[in-house]
Chain A
Amino acid sequence: MSAVSIKGVSKQFEAGVTALQGIDLDVEPGEFVSLIGPSGCGKSTLLRIIGDLTKPTAGTVQVNGKPADRARRDHEYGIVFQDAVLYDWRTVSKNISLPLELLHWNRSRRNARIKDMLELVELTGFESHHPWQLSGGMQQRVSIARALSFSPSLLLMDEPFGALDEMTRERLNAELLRIWQETGSTVVFVTHSISEAVFLSTRVVVMSVRPGQIAGLVDVDLEQPRTNATRESPRFFELVTQVREQLAAAGARLGETQEPALVEDQV
């Protein structure tokens, strides 16, 4: 059974803009799949459709064999947005605790899990800080801890490191890979960055714009665990080049269609 199974998904916005057209994609359990493409290719929309935060106009999505809305209600996935979306009135611990409270975990179970999560994202000692007392990178780690706190099998990430500086981003990339391997979860990751997509993923999905379609798939056969040395390996460069060429090819096709440039890929 696939972790995520997308069949014939299209999304048309009310303004008549076709964000996605005929998307078919299967993500196997334990995979780390990145969606990459130019602004407006609908990659964030696709992620939201998987999470049942927006409905497709056509097609079906299944998560762990369940329809997307069922899967959402069964807490099959955790989500991380570009902004950490932490609640200012809650401390770090309380933010991580939010989904656990909604799942009616009792206090001792919650506290034990919060402690584990803080260790996982290396934020032990910051439990009683408020979000605004943390750096952007630390905030995003809290957000990841919150998304994983209830052990969902699927992690959806919408450009989670897009707002961070390059150095923080690379450190968090490495950290995310470690967390992914420790938890064994499936990740669907939206990004603008080619090198980030290649470094993190087992598979990169290249998307084209207007309408958003899958332009190609790149299997990333880099060895695990990946380190800074991975970024310097010839194979890494080959794969980056491969993704870049596919993106360029998709972009060239865009040029032929002569459609006006428009819309963000946000809902």
Chain B
Amino acid sequence: MPKPTAIAQAFWDQKSALWSQGIYTFKEALGGYALGCSLGIFVALLFAAWRPLSSAFMPYAVAANAIPIIAFAPIMNNWFGLLNPFSKMAIAAVLCFFPVMINTLRGLTSVHPSSIELMQSYAAGRVSLFRRVRIPNALPHMFTGLKVATVLSMIGAIVGEYFGGPTEALGVKILNDSSYGNFTDAWAGIVMASLLGIVFYAVVALAERLTTSWHPSARAFHTE
């Protein structure tokens, strides 16, 4: 492995190229993230609202989740085109879908029975129950999925690029540098990918803090 100082030097020398490559790949990751997460949340809402649907499809969902999704990367590239960013987004989206769907569904359905009885006592409808009880209850769980998905979306985009992509992509750069033995440069690319992944995670974690400040995990931050 190259010396950290050498990696830092390479990173500094190529910072503008790395930045534009990083952003290219990050956009793919973000697109896939948005797609996969919104689909995950939507399906979770659907399953929670209509239990027969959940019992009918959940076994398939779990089975599908056991498939190593990365194995689909070459196929996605083939379907949507190597140079089309959507091929990488599709891989990232599929990777993000499951953790978000499973966690959100758990949050939506793990409501204390007396919470539901209370809403029944007010003759509240299903929409009210979702809006005022199930969805707020699901938020902490959903964010667990959303945070895991940030990392997965970066993995999806970069691994997708390993199977082919435009030269302006970070994954292609890392692959090319490695195959030509420029490991220092490859490491600089990995550092860029990691930095973007960390920032992405931190932004979602911040959003979590802001929206679920009432949750036990955030209670230590209350100074009352």
Residues in chain A within 8 A of chain B (CB atoms): 48, 51, 53, 72-73, 75, 77-79, 81, 83, 85, 87-90, 98-99, 101-102, 129-130, 132-133
Question: How many angstroms between the C-alpha atoms of A73 and B132 in the bound complex?
Answer: 18
Shortest distance in angstroms between B12's beta carbon and chain A's nearest beta carbon? 46
Q: Are A89 and B136 in contact (CB under 8 A)?
A: yes
Q: Are B219 and A77 in contact (CB under 8 A)?
A: no
Chain A residues closer than 8 Å to B137, beta-carbon distance: 89
Q: Are A87 and B122 in contact (CB under 8 A)?
A: no
Partner of B117, one of A53, A77, A88, A132: A53
Shortest distance in angstroms between B221's beta carbon and chain A's nearest beta carbon? 12
Answer yes or no: B212 CB below 8 A from chain A CBs. Answer: yes
Answer yes or no: B5 CB below 8 A from chain A CBs. Answer: no
Shortest distance in angstroms between B183's beta carbon and chain A's nearest beta carbon? 49
Q: Are A79 and B118 in contact (CB under 8 A)?
A: yes
10 nearest A-B pairs in the assembled complex, by CB-CB distance: A73-B123, A89-B136, A89-B214, A79-B121, A85-B114, A81-B114, A102-B122, A99-B122, A85-B118, A88-B214
Chain A residues closer than 8 Å to B117, beta-carbon distance: 48, 53, 79, 81
A-B residue pairs in contact (CB < 8 Å), sample of 12: A51-B121, A75-B122, A77-B121, A81-B118, A83-B112, A85-B112, A85-B114, A87-B136, A88-B215, A132-B216, A132-B219, A133-B224
Question: How many angstroms between the C-alpha atoms of A78 and B112 in the bound complex?
Answer: 19
Contact with A along B124-148 (1 / 0, CB 8 A): 1000100011001101000000000
Chain A residues closer than 8 Å to B124, beta-carbon distance: 102
The interface centre, meaning the residue of A75, A87, A101 with most chain B CB atoms within 10 A of its CB, is A87
Main SS of the interface on chain B? helix
Q: Are A87 and B115 in contact (CB under 8 A)?
A: yes
Q: Are B214 and A130 in contact (CB under 8 A)?
A: yes
Question: How many angstroms between the C-alpha atoms of A73 and B122 in the bound complex?
Answer: 7
Question: How many angstroms between the C-alpha atoms of A129 and B214 in the bound complex?
Answer: 10
Question: How many angstroms between the C-alpha atoms of A75 and B123 in the bound complex?
Answer: 7
List 9 other contacts, CB 8 Å, given A72-B120, A79-B117, A130-B222.
Answer: A48-B117, A72-B121, A73-B123, A87-B115, A87-B132, A87-B133, A89-B139, A102-B128, A133-B222
Question: How many angstroms between the C-alpha atoms of A98 and B214 in the bound complex?
Answer: 17
Q: Are B123 and A72 in contact (CB under 8 A)?
A: yes
Question: How many angstroms between the C-alpha atoms of A79 and B139 in the bound complex?
Answer: 27
Chain A residues closer than 8 Å to B219, beta-carbon distance: 132
Question: How many angstroms between the C-alpha atoms of A77 and B121 in the bound complex?
Answer: 8
User: Please, which residue of chain A has its CB at the minimum distance from the CB of B115?
Assistant: A85
